[in-house]
A and B are shown apart, each in its own frame.
Chain A
């Protein structure tokens, strides 16, 4: 039996995803320089746990929330699991629902797919970028796992062929070879393809517009992580001339995970016990980037923890 994504994972327990969600939420909070987050809308691709919805409602006070959910046959189950009444569910695939939404309001969109980049993902990106108003954010997550290629003599060629089949030849950046897709290479190429699609769509959208109405894109997120399969998340902020002037150029600079280019932020989850994290917490933030103590915790784990301790999830078994 083929399990669907929401039946395979408990999204709440995936630590890297959990950290990514909290990091992005902190960055979204900075949008308050443009407008109160209460006046923003959030669009996500549902799921049974609605983790992203709950977080944005609790932390940022976003009230206008739309979840796009394709599993209409599990309608009652999804509706029952909505944590807050302000979440509306629009039934259908993202390709069907996104073009039917109104885009007059500032919006945070997270197209969080659990499958690899393909032409339907790029079409969704195009639809959103063609319509988002200034002050909005688009984040796209896709699986970017090169996977083991079985029974292919030329593994590199098989990987490139698979990508070509999914997105089409003309979307693959020039000079990319199959060998470039190994390890995190596929994630890098996927980010570039999504980024190019955003830039190209904006170029068309802006073509007839006068300078101050033109919308620019500033990348904020370029995450690589793997709770199981390797994933890449790319996203950023869309601003016209007037809004650009209201966001200081260093507005996001102190957020260590923000990435404006092709170099990713790797979410590396340290393997630590609860007692160890509490011990380290008491010494963080410290003057050194890596806490020197205790030496019995491997330095690598200490370093990883120090870089993301504010977002690190704690899981406890509880009798309720």
Chain B
């Protein structure tokens, strides 16, 4: 077939056929089977736009394009589709999850609609390697094509994750979640039922299927987020920063494996490890007040201490010992 893009782009789409479907100019059935090495789909583009032609000459563009193909079509590549760009194969870098019996990811399958409009959704949610940070978050695929990579926004439920920091609640993604991995695969014969935009490059969060699946994603996330918060608490609680707690040892002993190769369970569950109890001290309360500098400096001298913090502590202890006997 021969498509004049210029003409196609300016055609009145309301009157013409569906704009993204192109009929064959020659169509013959029951032909003799061609030898395998002769079977292919070849698309030749002529009359490139000048800006695009310039872009194609740049090495950096070729690298970016290879990375884009590798990322967006990774499901197809992992399934065995070989893609070469200017004679060089596009790499296969499967997405991974930690494979450890106590840290296995959650897996859930949901089905919506029937017939050609039946959308099958497969969700994986668990832990991955701590680097690279851009892989943390949710990855959403539609018919094998990546439409959202490492998302950490409210589109994938991160607004419901709240972290307590210094007594304040801060919603959203935090560095302690670098090991979080979520993969959502949407598949349907009718591409129009999938949650992507018309150019199939971005997620459509208003799609009815996505709205329902987002609830599942949030529910699968919560135990993983709780675990990663516990992991952070464990690290902060170590007396010696070099020392590793049981959760950290467990995570570090886990080996990453490609998504399809890891065993799964219905929900991520907190590993059953013995966590030594932190000796609990009394609940502390900070006191703040202002006093004239001259008076505070004299008190510091009289107390023989080096800092204003100690002035506060010593004067409180002095008053407490005399007024609040045990």
Interface pair A126/B218, CB less than 8 Å apart: yes
Asked if A95 is at the interface (CB within 8 A of a chain B CB), the reply is yes
Interface pair B112/A209, CB less than 8 Å apart: yes
Interface pair B222/A99, CB less than 8 Å apart: yes
Interface pair B223/A168, CB less than 8 Å apart: no
Central interface residue in B112, B208, B222, B268, by most chain A CB within 10 Å: B222
Asked if A93 is at the interface (CB within 8 A of a chain B CB), the reply is yes
B217-254 CB contact bits vs A (8 Å, 1 = yes)?
A: 01110110010000000000000000000000000000
B residues 158-186 near A (Cβ < 8 Å) are: 160, 162, 169, 171
Asked if A100 is at the interface (CB within 8 A of a chain B CB), the reply is yes
Interface pair B226/A100, CB less than 8 Å apart: no
Complex formed: what's the CA distance from A120 to B208 in Å? 26
A131 in contact with B219 given A96-B270, A119-B162 (CB within 8 Å): yes
> A96, A131, A207: which contacts B226 (Cβ < 8 A)?
A96
Interface pair A208/B219, CB less than 8 Å apart: no
Interface pair B212/A99, CB less than 8 Å apart: no
Interface pair A207/B209, CB less than 8 Å apart: yes
Asked if A201 is at the interface (CB within 8 A of a chain B CB), the reply is yes
Within 8 Å CB of A102, what residues of B? 266
Asked if A162 is at the interface (CB within 8 A of a chain B CB), the reply is no
Asked if B273 is at the interface (CB within 8 A of a chain A CB), the reply is no
> B119, B220, B267, B270: which contacts A208 (Cβ < 8 A)?
B119
Chain A residue nearest in CB terms to B110: A208
Complex formed: what's the CA distance from A262 to B177 in Å? 40
Asked if B216 is at the interface (CB within 8 A of a chain A CB), the reply is yes
Interface pair B208/A99, CB less than 8 Å apart: no
A residues 65-117 near B (Cβ < 8 Å) are: 92-93, 95-96, 99-102
Chain B residue nearest in CB terms to A92: B270
Asked if A290 is at the interface (CB within 8 A of a chain B CB), the reply is no
A281-315 CB contact bits vs B (8 Å, 1 = yes)?
A: 00000000000000000000000000000000000
Complex formed: what's the CA distance from A165 to B169 in Å? 8
Asked if A172 is at the interface (CB within 8 A of a chain B CB), the reply is no
Complex formed: what's the CA distance from A99 to B223 in Å? 7
Complex formed: what's the CA distance from A168 to B268 in Å? 27
Asked if A205 is at the interface (CB within 8 A of a chain B CB), the reply is yes
Smallest distance from the beta carbon of A183 to chain B beta carbons, Å? Answer: 27
Interface pair A201/B113, CB less than 8 Å apart: no
Chain A residue nearest in CB terms to B125: A99
Smallest distance from the beta carbon of A261 to chain B beta carbons, Å? Answer: 26
Complex formed: what's the CA distance from A123 to B223 in Å? 12
Within 8 Å CB of A207, what residues of B? 208-209, 211-212
Asked if A49 is at the interface (CB within 8 A of a chain B CB), the reply is no
Interface pair B112/A99, CB less than 8 Å apart: no
Interface pair A95/B215, CB less than 8 Å apart: no
Within 8 Å CB of A99, what residues of B? 219-220, 222-223, 267
Asked if B269 is at the interface (CB within 8 A of a chain A CB), the reply is yes
Interface pair A130/B216, CB less than 8 Å apart: yes
Smallest distance from the beta carbon of A167 to chain B beta carbons, Å? Answer: 10
Interface pair B212/A205, CB less than 8 Å apart: yes
Interface pair A204/B211, CB less than 8 Å apart: yes
Interface pair B269/A100, CB less than 8 Å apart: yes
Asked if B202 is at the interface (CB within 8 A of a chain A CB), the reply is no
Chain A residue nearest in CB terms to B222: A99
B194-218 CB contact bits vs A (8 Å, 1 = yes)?
A: 0000000000000011011011101
Asked if B293 is at the interface (CB within 8 A of a chain A CB), the reply is no
A residues 152-207 near B (Cβ < 8 Å) are: 165, 168, 201, 203-207
Smallest distance from the beta carbon of A238 to chain B beta carbons, Å? Answer: 14
Central interface residue in A131, A201, A204, by most chain B CB within 10 Å: A204
Asked if B283 is at the interface (CB within 8 A of a chain A CB), the reply is yes
Chain A residue nearest in CB terms to B209: A208
B residues 97-136 near A (Cβ < 8 Å) are: 112-113, 119
Interface pair A127/B219, CB less than 8 Å apart: yes
Complex formed: what's the CA distance from A130 to B119 in Å? 19
Complex formed: what's the CA distance from A64 to B33 in Å? 62
Within 8 Å CB of A130, what residues of B? 215-216, 218-219
List 27 A-B residue pairs with CB atoms under 8 Å apart, sorted by A's residue number.
Answer: A95-B226, A96-B222, A96-B223, A99-B219, A99-B223, A100-B223, A100-B267, A100-B268, A119-B169, A120-B162, A123-B160, A123-B218, A126-B215, A126-B219, A127-B218, A130-B216, A130-B218, A130-B219, A168-B171, A201-B215, A204-B211, A204-B215, A205-B212, A206-B212, A207-B209, A208-B208, A209-B212
Query: Would you list the 10 A-B pairs with minimal beta carbon distance, nearest first?
Result: A207-B208, A100-B267, A130-B215, A208-B208, A204-B211, A208-B112, A207-B211, A208-B209, A99-B219, A96-B226
Q: Which residues of B contact A (CB under 8 A)?
A: 112-113, 119, 160, 162, 169, 171, 208-209, 211-212, 214-216, 218-220, 222-223, 226, 266-270, 283
Not counting A99-B223, A207-B212, a sample of 13 additional A-B residue pairs whose C-beta atoms are within 8 angstroms of each other reads A95-B222, A100-B267, A102-B266, A119-B162, A123-B160, A123-B218, A127-B218, A130-B215, A130-B218, A165-B169, A204-B215, A208-B208, A208-B211
